[in-house]
Structure 1
Amino acid sequence: MSDVPEQQAPTPDASLTPTPDAPMTRRERRARSRNTPAALPRRALLARPLTMTATIAFAALVGLTGYASPSFVALAVALAGLVMAWGWPQLLALPSPRGTTTVLSVGTVLMTGTVLLTDEAPYLQWMPAAMAVSVIAAFLHQLMRRDGRPRLAESVSASITGLAVISAGIALAPVPHVLGGQHALAAAMAGLGVGVLADPLVKVRRVRQWALFVSMLIGGVAGMVVSLVAGHPRLWPAALLGLLAAAVSHAARRVMAVLPAMAMPRAQLAAGASSSLLVGVVAYVVVRYFVA
């Protein structure tokens, strides 16, 4: 038997061995985030019937009022703006809900009034002034708060974002003034109302990533159908209106679907109203450059 002592394997230093509870470095966190796909919360995969109903109702109301009078379109948009003002603070869980609702309501009334009181083109010439006054009101609201102003930046940005969404919807009011504008407005609203039918596809795992494209497809087809029924010969602008209206609205609802407050009815109505109002500026630009 050899007298040479058997060599033992070196034991690892405990200080160098990572423990499960040890904090990760930034590089490790970045590597884990790249390797682990982000999972959407369950609430983001639910179809909200109240939001879908609000969107379809807005599309039908604006589409029909477009054949009556541009003033009625402005009033229909104002109704959606007031609904959004009512539910916007709950949707975003804002710290001063009553003040934010007041600011958005005042902004809706001011911007709608500028359109109703303008009788000749450009019909949106006083919109910047109304928007500026509304933004000043948003800052005054923050100065008048008596709760210590928690989450100040979030509250200000949410109020101004809400005003921007409402102003986008007001852009629908001048569309019927264009020759054939009432048909173009109906095509856009058809795409908005029909495109919402693709929302339940989000629950199906295999087609979830195609929900936006399905919404765009059926929205574009709906716009063309409305153009044919109305006897308006410009099919491709109508298809573009329906496609873009469905795409913008669907994308906005998908973004808001992850918010925890989407389980509440008031927040669902606000999501439907805001996703519908965003279509306004898109429809205005398409009508201005491809229909007028």
Structure 2
Amino acid sequence: MSDVPEQAPNNPAVPLTRRERRAHAQTAKPALPRRALLPRPLSIAATLAFAALVALTGYASPQFVALAVALAGLVLAWGWPLLLSLPSPRGTSGVLAIGTLLMTGTALLTRSDPYLQWMPAALAVSVIVAFLHQLMRRDGRPRLTESVAATTSGLAIISAGIALAPIPHVLAGEHALAATMAGLGIGALADPCVSIRRLRKWALFIAMVLGGGAAVVVSLLAGDPMTGSAALLGLLAAAISHAARRVLAPLPATAMPRAQLAVAAASSLLVGVVAYVVVTSPWFAT
């Protein structure tokens, strides 16, 4: 029996030196594909445009807000199947467009509180239409589960955006909506930080600071004394939209302009339900 010296096992408990950590970080493969770290100017511009449109329509009427959200929903319906590389893209776009029209119709036709009372019914009908679309497919229904999950997720995102429509009905709701949209739009300006190595891990925090600060500025300019609530709305809007864009960024289709518009629409619509919950909370007016 030969005496072979045993190799010492790797002990993860032994801390690495600073030089070893630096060398390991340089040689390690990136956790995300390169496309996830590229800035998407079209998504940023589309997010800014949506935020400005909704903020301005909020001072006009809740019906105009619903129409602005419907526009974003139709953009999402147009680009969502391409973004996720779904089978039967035309049918999926049709389902999302029908859902957008149904849910927008409930917001336009409801004139008394609760303003979203028919939203669950419209969403339920839209989900039924989504399942009927799958039953009517003639391509053998490949990737059925993925297609259903993606379609219902798109409908959920659109329904979240429709929650922006009744916000102007609340006391000082138009100012709250403007503050939310300021956080959404200005927070999107932090997206290029993802491509800068030293700022990458701080991108979300930078977006939140920019969004909260922009919301406070808009609130002060509008003469709204509830700057604390405005800061919270801007901070949450910036954080949610930034996180949504980061989640969707690794998808291969994000290199295409149509998919980038869908990313902007999805990240913008998602903030609606959170803003509605904050604005309708009992402590909002205090």
TM-score (norm 2): 0.89
Corresponding residue of 1:198: 190
Q: Which runs of 4+ in 1 moved over 6 A?
A: none
Q: Select 2:226's aligned residue among 231, 234, 244.
A: 234
1:39-58 map, 5 Å? 39-58=31-50
Query: Structure 1 residue 157: deviation in Å?
Result: 0.3
Post-superposition CA distance 1:69-101 (Å, at most 9, x none): 000000000000000000000000001100000
Structure 2 residue aligned with 1:291 = 284
Partner-residue secondary structure (3-state), 1:61: helix
Say which SS state the counterpart of residue 198 (structure 2) adopts.
coil
Alignment partner, residue 70 of structure 1: 62
Instruction: State the alpha-carbon separation in 2 of the partners of residues 119 and 206 from structure 1.
Output: 50
Mapping 1:118-129, distance limit 5 Å = 118-129=110-121
Tell me the SS of whatever aligns to 2:213. Answer: helix
Question: Equivalent residue for 2:132?
Answer: 140
Looking at structure 2, the residues matched to 154 and 9 of structure 1 have their Cα atoms a distance apart, in angstroms, of 58
Q: Is 2:44 the counterpart of 1:60?
A: no
SS in 2 for 1:186: helix
Tell me if 1:219 matches 2:218. Answer: no
One of 40, 60, 71 as aligned partner of 1:79: 71
Q: In structure 2, what is the Cα distance between the partners aligned to 1:192 and 1:146?
A: 41
Matches within 5 A, 1:62-211: 62-211=54-203
One-letter code aligned to 1:291: F
Specify the structure having the higher radius of gyration (Cα). 1
Aligned mates of 2:3, 2:91 — CA distance in 1: 68
Secondary structure at the counterpart of residue 93 of structure 1: coil
- 1:49-80 C-alpha deviation (Å, 9 max, x unpaired): 11011100000000000000000000000000
> Structure 2 regions of 5+ residues with no counterpart?
5-27
CA RMSD of aligned residues (A): 1.4
Name 2:256's counterpart in structure 1: 264
Cα deviation digits, residues 121-180 of structure 1 (max 9, x gap): 000000000000000000000000000000000000000000000000000000000110
The whole-number CA distance in structure 2 between the counterparts of 1:271 and 1:37 is 26
- Please report how far the alpha carbon of residue 39 of structure 1 lies from its aligned counterpart in structure 2 after TM superposition: 1.7
In structure 1, the gaps of 5 or more residues are 1-7, 12-35
Q: Equivalent of 1:251, from 243, 265, 283?
A: 243
Alignment-mate amino acid for residue 280 of structure 1: G
Distance 1:107 1:233 in 2: 37
Shift of 1:10: 9.1
Aligned to 2:274: 282
State how far apart, in whole Å, the 1-side matches of 2:280 and 2:252 are. Answer: 38
